[in-house]
Amino acid sequence: MPPLEADQKVLVSTSFLKTTHGSLDCVSCHGGVEPASTRKEAHKGLVARPSATANSICAKCHQAETAKIGWSLHLTNAGIVDLKNGVLAPRVNPEKLNVLQPAVDTHCASCHTSGCGDCHVSRPVASGTGFIDGHNFIKTPNSVLNCTACHGSRIEKEMLAKGPENLGLKPDVHWSPAGMQCASCHTSKWIHDPAQKSPDRYHVGEAPKCETCHVSKEGFYKNGMHAMHANPKAGTPDLQCQVCHSQPYNNCYACHVGKDSKGLAFFKTDKSEFNFEIGKNPNPTAERPYAYVVVRHVPVAEDTFAYYGQGLLSRFATQPTWKYATPHNIVKQAPQAKDCNSCHGNPNLFLQAKDVLPSELKANEKVIVTSPPKKR
């Protein structure tokens, strides 16, 4: 997404002045000096993003919406940066957290939202900031200007079919033609009002589930494939919906971080590629009981943080690098689900040892499919 021109980032529309927020004095939220004769004078003590401060000013009026904001993974990024409970926790060397934490904070924490404003009035800081609509506040974040401004490499590319042209990808059916927005599934309950604190996104109780809308529909189990593979009582392997309804998705490999000669943080990933792999569910739960799921290669490598020291991810191999995934590129009929033998007898759809880097074989033991289903 191209950045806004500097003046457009902070240009207030006259329509904003007729709103509730617009009727407040600028300085009551932003500080600064008014009246003033120069920019320097006006911006003395300025708080550019008042919602980013501790005890945000938003909470004064929006108490219900902000009561549990401290649990919001969008705000805390805890799923990534919390080395005791987040996704990296099982891999880290517990004796070297003091070395690893600053590295993770430097390289992996920049994407978190800096407060309410990053979704409700401006583009997120991580994507260059700037008003979405002349300082008008929006109740529902804009799918493009807010959500995919950060979630670009995977969600945007997959949902909008921006992958390699030769794959013939289609946009996610919920996006087009259905016209649903991110917030249609990712509700405010999930984003900033969860019932309990969660270590990462897949543990949030309010996370969207396909079943919520689709299984309750009359006729769902009249579909033979649903009756066989989406019904725990059928006695056949239960499949995650994406196994049949997803298309190839983006996978990243070997992210390495460091600092350049000026001390500025950088990252380099070895490669990114669109492919599709069905693996065994590494961690079946009551919420996700599926036997088979689609798995995505995550960018972390054993030496991702080697710039900061050796052995920081000493338990790297305890977790798969091909992880449970929920690609946002759903179609009614994907090629692998055209008929039974589109999948049965097509081992290339399944994550096998040959698809895994030799150095990651042990880490992926639990997800590699050793006996893909034979032709029927």
Partner 1 sequence: MSKRSTANGQLVRNLSTGLALFLLVALMFVAGCAKSTSSPAPESAQPTVAQGSCLECHSNSEKLKADLEKDPPPQVAKSTESAGEG
291 lies in the binding site for partner 1 (CB under 8 A): no
Q: Min. distance of Cβ 241 from partner 1 in angstroms?
A: 26
**Strand extents, DSSP E, the chain:** 249-259, 265-275, 278-280, 292-297, 322-324
What is the CB-side half-sphere exposure of residue 326 using CA atoms within 13 A?
Answer: 8
Distance of CA 49 to the CA centre of its chain: 23
State which residue, 201 or 256, has the beta carbon closest to partner 1. 256
Q: Is 36 in the site for partner 1 (CB under 8 A)?
A: yes
CB of 35 to partner 1, least distance (A): 3
User: Is residue 218 involved in binding partner 1 (CB under 8 A)?
Assistant: no
Rank residues 109 and 353 by Cβ distance to partner 1 and give the closer one. 109
DSSP-derived letter for residue 149 is H
Q: Which stretch binds partner 1 (CB under 8 A): 12-20, 79-87, 228-236, 353-361?
A: 12-20
Rounded-to-integer distance, Cα 216 and Cα 202, Å: 22
User: Closer CB to partner 1, residue 57 or residue 252?
Assistant: 252
Out of 93, 140, 184, 272, which residue is the one contacting partner 1 (CB under 8 A)?
Answer: 272
Q: Which two tokens stand for residue 320?
A: 């798969």
Q: Would you say 33 or 340 has its CB closer to partner 1? A: 33
Using CB under 8 A as the binding criterion, the count of chain residues that bind partner 1 stands at 38
DSSP for residue 358: G
Which of the stretches 231-239, 247-255, 306-314, 321-329 binds partner 1 when contact is defined by CB under 8 A? 247-255
Q: Could you count the other beta carbons within 10 Å of the beta carbon of residue 138?
A: 13
238, 220 Cβ separation under 8 angstroms? no
- Shortest spacing between CB 272 and partner 1, in angstroms: 5
Q: Which residues contact 140 (CB under 8 A, 6 or more apart)?
A: 181, 183
Least spacing, CB of residue 157 vs partner 1, in Å: 9
Structure tokens belonging to residue 247: 């298309």
Q: Which stretch binds partner 1 (CB under 8 A): 211-219, 269-277, 306-314, 345-353?
A: 269-277
Short-list 66, 81, 68, CA closest to 199: 81
Stretch that binds partner 1, among 34-42, 178-186, 211-219, 316-324 (CB under 8 A): 34-42
Q: From CA 73, how far away is CA 191, in angstroms rounded?
A: 7
Selected binder of partner 1 within 52, 97, 99, 252 (CB under 8 A): 252
Q: Applying CB under 8 A, does 26 fall inside the site for partner 1?
A: yes
End-to-end Cα distance, the chain = 47
CA–CA distance, 57 with 28 (Å, rounded to integer): 9
Considering the rule CB under 8 A, would residue 231 count as an interface residue with partner 1? no
266 binds partner 1 (CB under 8 A): yes
Q: Do 321 and 295 touch, CB atoms closer than 8 A? A: no
Asked if 11 interacts with partner 1 (CB under 8 A), we say: yes
Position of tokens 């725990």? 232
Sites of contact with partner 1 (CB under 8 A): 6-8, 10-14, 17-18, 26-27, 30, 32, 34-37, 39, 42, 111, 153, 250, 252, 255, 258-260, 262, 264-272
